[in-house]
């Protein structure tokens, strides 16, 4: 049952990703706060499913690294190549550049972040047993202050290399993965009254919208970004609610559509950006209003993956990142 609940949460996360990438820029300030939990949820679940007791030797950690990194790096290379082919620039040099910078598609930075967090997992295990375990949560907000907000306050941008590094760095995302590790290993129990959690979530939503409007007023691009200080508060509420959902006895086996979407969420994450490029060349798609276009994109992505999975088989589909 717990695995089914994980798939439900993955379905919610991938639907949020689709909404993020189809939301009109004129609406992102007030729409994005409701769906900015997307990547945080994926990272939280990755941490939640990592059981420390399974990895007590170097050999077991090597097996962990192999499973967690190779499984995503191979699809990353394939999809980077596909996205690069669609670019009019020189494929050879551009492909190498995109591999090194996660520049092939707007969604590929996640692979860099995920791999870094997987590699750091043994250190997180050590930190989780320390009396200072909760200081790890400060890494995300402090890195955001230093690399995003301080440059904004001083009116200058990060250098090109620093900007590339920051865009693919795991620093800002550490709290979500680490929280999943703590909850999944029983080190922390996310217990909170429903009334308090609801109040906290609504207050955090309001604050995130205010921050978005503030950034928009000052002409800051991507003001609906998942990387805002207030987003940590909103996502904290969502992840607390997710922990309670995972621990409850509610039977989700009847939600077939969501379970199917969750089981193919990794593939949808890779495919949907390519489908956006294709659908934009179809005039009727441009006439579909938001959020109906989100539903169309999600349905098209899921259908494409299911068909591909049937044709290619489970093994090849897995290496392509479709499942």
> Mean pLDDT across the stretch 61-82?
90
pLDDT at 83: 87
Please give the mean pLDDT across all residues of the chain: 92
pLDDT tens, residue by residue, 38-47 = 999 999 999 9
Residue 88: band (very low, low, confident or very high) from pLDDT cuts 50, 70, 90: low
Is 62:111 a contact under the CB 8 Å cutoff? no
Q: Does residue 93 carry a pLDDT above 90?
A: no
Residue 181: band (very low, low, confident or very high) from pLDDT cuts 50, 70, 90: very high
Residue 86: band (very low, low, confident or very high) from pLDDT cuts 50, 70, 90: confident
CA 177-303-315 angle, to 5 degrees, is 65
Residue 79: band (very low, low, confident or very high) from pLDDT cuts 50, 70, 90: very high
Q: Taking the CA of residue 183 as centre, how many other CA atoms within 13 Å lie in the half-sphere pointing to its CB?
A: 26
Residue 217: band (very low, low, confident or very high) from pLDDT cuts 50, 70, 90: confident
Residue 34: band (very low, low, confident or very high) from pLDDT cuts 50, 70, 90: very high
Q: Which of 35, 39, 30 is nearest to 207 (CA)?
A: 30
Helices (H), 256-291: 256-263, 265-279, 283-286
pLDDT at 48: 96
Q: Does residue 194 carry a pLDDT above 70?
A: yes
Please give the residue that has the higher pLDDT: either 183 or 57.
183
pLDDT tens, residue by residue, 119-175 = 999 999 999 999 999 999 999 999 999 998 888 777 777 788 888 899 899 999 999
CB-count burial class (<10 Å; 0-12, 13-18, 19+) for 82: middle
As a whole-number percent, the residues of the chain with pLDDT over 90 amount to: 66
pLDDT tens, residue by residue, 229-261 = 999 999 999 999 999 999 988 899 899 999 999
Q: Is the dihedral of CA 38, 42, 43, 49 positive or negative?
A: positive
> Mean pLDDT across the stretch 7-21?
97
> Mean pLDDT across the stretch 292-301?
96
pLDDT at 1: 53
Return d(Cα 241, Cα 77) in angstroms, integer.
35
pLDDT tens, residue by residue, 200-216 = 999 999 999 999 998 88
- Strands (DSSP E) contained in 204-275 are none
How much is the CA Rg of the chain, to the nearest whole Å?
20
Q: What's the DSSP call for residue 170?
A: S
pLDDT at 221: 77
């Amino acid at each position: 049952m717990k695995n089914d609940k994980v798939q439900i949460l993955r379905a919610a996360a991938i639907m949020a990703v689709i909404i993020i990438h189809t939301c009109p820029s004129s609406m992102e300030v007030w729409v994005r706060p409701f769906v900015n939990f997307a990547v945080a949820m994926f990272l939280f679940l990755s941490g939640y499913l990592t059981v420390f007791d399974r990895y007590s030797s170097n050999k077991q950690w090597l097996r962990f690294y192999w499973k967690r990194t190779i499984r995503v790096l191979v699809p990353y290379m394939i999809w980077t190549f596909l996205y690069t082919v669609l670019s009019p620039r020189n494929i050879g040099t551009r492909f190498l550049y995109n591999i090194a910078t996660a520049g092939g598609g707007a969604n590929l930075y996640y692979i860099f972040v995920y791999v870094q967090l997987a590699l750091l997992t043994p250190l997180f295990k050590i930190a989780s047993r320390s009396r200072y375990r909760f200081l790890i949560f400060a890494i995300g907000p402090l890195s955001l202050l230093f690399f995003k907000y301080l440059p904004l306050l001083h009116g200058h941008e990060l250098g090109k290399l620093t900007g590339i590094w920051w865009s693919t760095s795991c620093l800002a995302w550490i709290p979500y993965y680490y929280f999943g590790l703590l909850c999944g290993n029983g080190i922390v129990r996310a217990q909170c009254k429903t009334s308090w959690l609801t109040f906290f979530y609504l207050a955090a939503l309001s604050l995130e919208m205010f921050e978005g409007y503030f950034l928009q007023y000052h002409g800051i691009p991507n003001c609906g970004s998942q990387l805002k200080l207030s987003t940590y508060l909103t996502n904290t509420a969502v992840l607390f609610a997710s922990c309670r959902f995972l621990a409850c006895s509610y039977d989700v086996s009847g939600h077939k559509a969501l379970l199917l979407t969750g089981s193919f969420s990794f593939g949808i994450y890779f495919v949907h950006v390519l489908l956006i490029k294709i659908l934009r060349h179809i005039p009727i798609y441009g006439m579909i209003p938001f959020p109906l276009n989100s539903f169309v994109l999600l349905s098209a992505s899921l259908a494409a993956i299911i068909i591909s999975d049937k044709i290619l088989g489970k093994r090849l589909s897995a290496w392509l990142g479709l499942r």
